[in-house]
Amino acid sequence: MSLSVKIEKNLGGFQLRVEFESAGGLLALLGASGSGKSLTLRCIAGLLRPDRGRIVLNGRVLYDSAAGIDLPPQQRRVGYLFQSCALIPHLSVLENVALGYHARPKAERNELALAQLRRFRIETLAAALPATLSGGERQRVALAQTLAAEPEAMLLDEPFSALDEYLKWELELELARTLETYGGDAVLVSHSRDEVCRLAKSVCVLSHGRSEPVLPVSELMTAPGTLGAALISGCKNLSPVRVQADGTLRCEAWGWTLPACPVPDGLTHVGIRAHSLQLGEGAISLPCTVDRVIDNVFSYILMLQTPGTGQLRIEFDKAQPVPPVGAAVRVHVPAEEILLLQ
């Protein structure tokens, strides 16, 4: 199974330029709000026409501007799970799911739809109307309806963002089980790093309408490579960097000079994750002053004033002693934990 997307779309003040390939499993489009994630899904589904480019699903050309191909949504065999659960309000749950089987003989539709409801353990809701359902029930019905159409690819547009944390977790597990047996391509739009880490195999970061190269999810966390990827992966400590004549790296925001190392082309920033910093002396250390202590649920967060104009954030377990506000401390970081970013 494969999905190849290379498209451009001009929306006045916003330019979408996206390119990625998925080879089975779940690919996540990860980015901040307004980065173009949902626009990309709409182009794949045929709900928005790109200005130029090409979209190919399992060898079938869905869109090709040069060849004049633009298949309508109903011919693309792409299932779209919306954030808002696009169920028809005057139809029952069973009737909504049966719509996915519109190509099957009429006598089979309800039987197949009921089987889908059983799969998601919601067969008791068959006669209910969408307005009477909870948020979690509506999402289960919408997922059953999407799978009923037997799509070659599923597009998941932040399907759990409107749910509370417990329901979100429950439905996330449901989706993970579904994807294990689905077998087709799936693209998940998300701005949640944690959600992507739990569900996806690979990730494509979008920033201001531009896509970055597809990465394994594990690589996004350990070696993001770009400033945009580091930001969306949750890196809290970032500084512009200047390579000095002796090869050392001057982090302008922190007043910290890091040892010389192989530098990638286009280096602009250095990143250090909050959990990578440690209190105490080390080979690569910096004097700081505790500016603020934040009591997190399972950890403490220290905001440290650096010799530069910026601050560093460090996070550690509550079992450790906490220095008070105003205390002079040193922090250090292992060399391998320093992120060099383009």
What pLDDT does 175 receive? Answer: 80
Shared domain for 196 and 330, answered yes or no, is: no
What pLDDT does 301 receive? Answer: 92
What pLDDT does 18 receive? Answer: 96
Mean pLDDT value of segment 143-162: 83
Residue ending a domain, choose from 223, 250, 279: 223
pLDDT at 214 over 80: yes
Least confident of 8-17, 114-123, 278-287: 114-123
Chain centroid to Cα 137, Å, comes to 24
**Which residue type is seen at 331?**
V
CB 82 within 8 A of CB 127: no
CB 148 within 8 A of CB 97: yes
Residue 215 covered by a domain = yes
Residue 47 covered by a domain = yes
| Neighbouring C-alpha atoms within 13 Å toward the C-beta of 75 | 9
Token duo for residue 296: 């997190």
CA distance 52 to 332: 49
Condensed to tens digits (0 to 9), the pLDDT of residues 106-123 reads 778 888 888 888 888 888
Residue that wins the pLDDT comparison between 110 and 272: 272
Shared domain for 273 and 162, answered yes or no, is: no
Q: With CA atoms as reference, report the closest residue to 29 among 163, 181, 171, 156.
A: 156
Shared domain for 191 and 330, answered yes or no, is: no
Residue 148 covered by a domain = yes
Chain centroid to Cα 322, Å, comes to 34
CA distance 334 to 140: 45
Shared domain for 130 and 56, answered yes or no, is: yes
- Kindly report the CATH number assigned to the domain that includes residue 274: 2.40.50.140
Shared domain for 94 and 48, answered yes or no, is: yes
CA distance 309 to 288: 11
Shared domain for 218 and 128, answered yes or no, is: yes
Condensed to tens digits (0 to 9), the pLDDT of residues 221-257 reads 888 888 988 888 889 999 999 999 999 999 999 999 9
What pLDDT does 330 receive? Answer: 95
Shared domain for 219 and 249, answered yes or no, is: no
DSSP state letters, 15-73? EEEEEEEE-SEEEEEE--TTSSHHHHHHHHHTSS--SEEEEEETTEEEEETTTTEE--H
Shared domain for 71 and 190, answered yes or no, is: yes
pLDDT at 318 over 90: no
Output the pTM of the full model. 0.83
| Neighbouring C-alpha atoms within 13 Å toward the C-beta of 291 | 13
Shared domain for 55 and 165, answered yes or no, is: yes
- Kindly report the CATH number assigned to the domain that includes residue 218: 3.40.50.300
DSSP class of residue 128 equals -
Residue ending a domain, choose from 202, 223, 244: 223
Which residue in the block uniquely carries the two structure tokens 């070696």? 223
What pLDDT does 237 receive? Answer: 95
Which residue in the block uniquely carries the two structure tokens 């950890």? 299
Condensed to tens digits (0 to 9), the pLDDT of residues 45-101 reads 999 999 999 999 999 999 999 999 999 998 999 988 876 667 888 989 888 888 888
Shared domain for 281 and 217, answered yes or no, is: no
pLDDT at 43 over 80: yes
Domain that holds residue 285: 235-341
Mean pLDDT of the chain: 88
Token duo for residue 76: 């693309």
Shared domain for 43 and 86, answered yes or no, is: yes
What pLDDT does 180 receive? Answer: 80
Shared domain for 197 and 76, answered yes or no, is: yes
Residue ending a domain, choose from 223, 258, 287: 223
**Which residue type is seen at 232?**
I
**How many domains, the chain?**
2
DSSP class of residue 115 equals H
Q: Above pLDDT 70, what percent of the chain?
A: 98
What pLDDT does 133 receive? Answer: 86
pLDDT at 162 over 80: no
Residue 230 covered by a domain = no
CA distance 67 to 257: 54
**Which residue type is seen at 71?**
L
